[in-house]
Structure 1
């Protein structure tokens, strides 16, 4: 009955202490409220028991219940209905620059670096429900896979379609970073973020990574860099079999970590190293925590007064008690 009900004036409930006091008073005074007749003997009267005498205390109980209902009404019960609306007050635009060179097929991450990245990046994209995201891929050259959009289904499909062989092989970090900067530089978002992932060293392209990093600084674009690959040796494509499939062999993992650290430091971002699937997942979770979209929650309160029921109930009881007292129980008053 009182679910989701608050009382505006709960201090009135202190008046309920009057009810036990009134009960004690009635207990000691009840015999004096009925007129008595003293005679020397009742042998000439036939004993008749009246049910009204036993029911008369119900009048007092009705008064107590009415008093309790009035006190509850004075406490002013209200039913509170809350509706919530969220409003994004600060959007973030994110471009993910993904290395798709042949070394991304290395199997030190399971089943390989590229597939592991796609799985983790997909979870990251799904969690950025209020932000716009774009994709850039690069190896020996670079192109935009999908421009910045708020339609996550488009981004996820584009991410799933990323495979090796769409570009000339190589690792053009500068090209990938410059292309990503070009995609986000004109964004009107209050925060612009790049996530650059690679597993090698810059060995292709005609734009130096330092030059691209300078462009990111000029346009106020924060860049998080991720070096992916285990420490030491990894099972990596080293040639082709006669049927055209890759031939794998152990190869030394070479990542230009100093370059990635410099890019991150210069642009206000952070450098991460992912040596296994779990670490890669943790990195994207950390970036997700670092780049939070500000959400404004607006609550609307609607109050419905509930005191009328208790007030009418109390009045009804008092009227009924008065009617019974001066009709049915009149002979006992």
Structure 2
């Protein structure tokens, strides 16, 4: 689709005709006569049988120059541009305790990691317009995926995580520190870290509270999720008994981390509660709702400008040759 940014420039197109019209005006007494036929008479070069190529080239020069002044732009087909949302990092605990089967999937017992994968997958697929990244942590914290709009790949990497991949212990402080590092160059109002764990900080070189204070200074919001049931029936020496599989969960620490950074702490004792947590996060950190389309623009101004210069040069060259031929003939 062709678009003229300055269409009013086209009113200059008939200017050469008007100038020639006024130059051909003749006076008889007090009456003005317009000799339109003279506009089409042959000039002195045509009288010798030679076509006035120079005149036609000048006309084309003026036309292309006027079109260039109108700033023609070619608009391509509209393409969808993902709207810019938040830069969101997910820190997932892969320590040994995540293998405890106190959750359910499809009414079947499931360990904490598989339940987290299922719910997190649904959350990732709904984050169109956000850039997501993945951190996994155990005894150490590792960047599994940098921030990206490729949500399908992020989801696939989540599904490929395994318990113990990062070690058996829990380095919460290191995970927060790595998240801050990956988010620090992003817009301050769009930096979010979701940290999901089932234990207490038992490893790492960085204190969780120290990392949380630094995150607050950097404008990183941290939402923490404590996962794991509070009751579970296990088979003991004297028969079945009820235990608390989440006795190691440090809820005061996770609460402090969230409060220091302007986030919230959530407790997920079941898969259903974990789904509810991510639904709340959808409301707290909404994705962009408006679709954005962009049409690529190609400016034709410089091409027409170059063409007008070429035509002008040819006109001057043609005029010079015809003048030389006329002098030789005389």
2:272 to 274, 278, 286: 278
8 Å CA contact retained: 1:134, 1:149: yes
- Give the paired residue count: 204
Q: What is residue 132 of structure 1 aligned with on the other side?
A: 131
Q: What is residue 27 of structure 1 aligned with on the other side?
A: none
How far apart are the structure 2 equivalents of 1:116 and 1:210? Answer: 28
TM-score by length of 2: 0.57
User: Where do 4+ consecutive residues of structure 1 move more than 3 Å?
Assistant: 84-90, 232-236, 249-252, 294-299
8 Å CA contact retained: 1:106, 1:234: no
Change (3 A) 1:149 1:271: same
Trace 1:3-22 onto structure 2 (pairs within 5 A).
none
8 Å CA contact retained: 1:90, 1:189: no
2:252 to 231, 246, 258: 258
8 Å CA contact retained: 2:219, 2:261: yes
Flag the structure with larger Rg. Answer: 1
How far apart are the structure 2 equivalents of 1:205 and 1:298? Answer: 43
Q: What is residue 227 of structure 1 aligned with on the other side?
A: 226
Change (3 A) 1:89 1:156: closer
Change (3 A) 1:94 1:235: farther
1:252 Cα deviation from its structure 2 partner = 3.9
- SS of the aligned residue for 2:191 comes to strand
- SS of the aligned residue for 2:103 comes to coil
8 Å CA contact retained: 1:274, 1:283: yes
Q: What is residue 116 of structure 1 aligned with on the other side?
A: 115
- SS of the aligned residue for 1:95 comes to strand
Trace 1:28-177 onto structure 2 (pairs within 5 A).
90-110=84-104, 111-177=110-176
1:168 Cα deviation from its structure 2 partner = 2.0
How far apart are the structure 2 equivalents of 1:132 and 1:124? Answer: 13
Change (3 A) 1:252 1:157: closer
- SS of the aligned residue for 1:210 comes to helix
How far apart are the structure 1 equivalents of 2:233 and 2:187? Answer: 42
* Cα offsets for 1:166-200 (capped at 9, x unmatched): 12210111111111111111124741111001101
8 Å CA contact retained: 1:193, 1:221: yes
- SS of the aligned residue for 1:284 comes to helix
Which consecutive unaligned segments of at least 5 residues does structure 1 have? 1-83, 237-248, 300-333
8 Å CA contact retained: 2:128, 2:287: no
8 Å CA contact retained: 1:137, 1:145: yes
**RMSD of the TM alignment (CA)?**
2.4
How far apart are the structure 1 equivalents of 2:193 and 2:265? Answer: 12
8 Å CA contact retained: 1:90, 1:294: yes
- SS of the aligned residue for 1:129 comes to coil
- SS of the aligned residue for 2:225 comes to strand
TM-score by length of 1: 0.57
1:157 Cα deviation from its structure 2 partner = 1.1
Which consecutive unaligned segments of at least 5 residues does structure 2 have? 1-77, 105-109, 236-241, 294-330
8 Å CA contact retained: 1:222, 1:268: yes
* Cα offsets for 1:79-120 (capped at 9, x unmatched): xxxxx9987665101000010011101111121100000010
1:291 to 285, 288, 305: 285
* Cα offsets for 1:20-72 (capped at 9, x unmatched): xxxxxxxxxxxxxxxxxxxxxxxxxxxxxxxxxxxxxxxxxxxxxxxxxxxxx
Trace 1:189-228 onto structure 2 (pairs within 5 A).
190-228=189-227
* Cα offsets for 1:203-234 (capped at 9, x unmatched): 11111001110121111011100000111447
How far apart are the structure 1 equivalents of 2:233 and 2:197? Answer: 15
Q: What is residue 185 of structure 1 aligned with on the other side?
A: 184
